[in-house]
Structure 1
């Protein structure tokens, strides 16, 4: 029996006025909560800070990081059985949000935008909506 493959990712949940900051990379058809994969030896905090700096040109304050949950779902655009595991944190940042690197667009999404996001992000949106953090 084949074991499922896990893609280990981190995500930064930034909420404003009951909407969530989301990004779309060049060539992708879905928006994603900003973040990415950990490099060998990185802690959650180090990987998240690096990814957010690369994608949005802001610095995450690691002392303010707050664990929001870990969510798993079928990975968008991958073959069946490849699962993305998204470990989510909120936290304060400094700087001005600006799409950079592979990010084509950033947008504040609400719960009604669920059709524009990946499966794992839908689970995260559901959780935030249930907690009255996302309209």
Structure 2
């Protein structure tokens, strides 16, 4: 794999009490992905994810609240010819907090889906092939 075409990110697998999973969509895209983003130089994945969740969803999360879930990689949804490698962290939100989330920054939309039945929503390969089967708990 050509590492010059590798994008390293931290991504959240956020669920709420009813088992639904959060996916987000960036402005100018129709593909849904996990919340999160690229690491800045010298940044630990947990730090990056806390920063991204604050910027994109207004969600204040402490690093210790994130549960490590492992890594996955797939073709990048938004950068042709690149591969995205994600460090995944789990987070369960109380229903009231989950319902109050609002998109900001580069995000255009958020959706709560049943990971066992995502329907025909256009979902990025990393979320579809790695997150849904491995981390999505059906209701």
Q: TM-score, with normalisation over the residues of structure 1?
A: 0.84
Q: Take 1:38 and 1:57, find their aligned partners in 2: how far apart are those partners?
A: 18
Contact 1:61 1:93 in 2 (8 A): no
Matches within 5 A, 1:1-135: 3-4=2-3, 5-16=5-16, 17-80=18-81, 82-91=82-91, 96-111=100-115, 112-113=117-118, 115-122=121-128, 123-129=130-136, 133-135=137-139
Distance 1:19 1:91 in 2: 12
Unaligned runs of 5+ in 2: none
Aligned residues: 130
Q: Runs of 4+ in structure 1 displaced over 3 angstroms?
A: 77-80, 91-96
Residue 93 of structure 1 and its aligned partner are, at CA, apart by 6.7
Two-structure CA RMSD over aligned residues (Å): 2.2
Unaligned runs of 5+ in 1: none
Structure 2 Cα separation of the partners of residues 72 and 103 of structure 1:
22
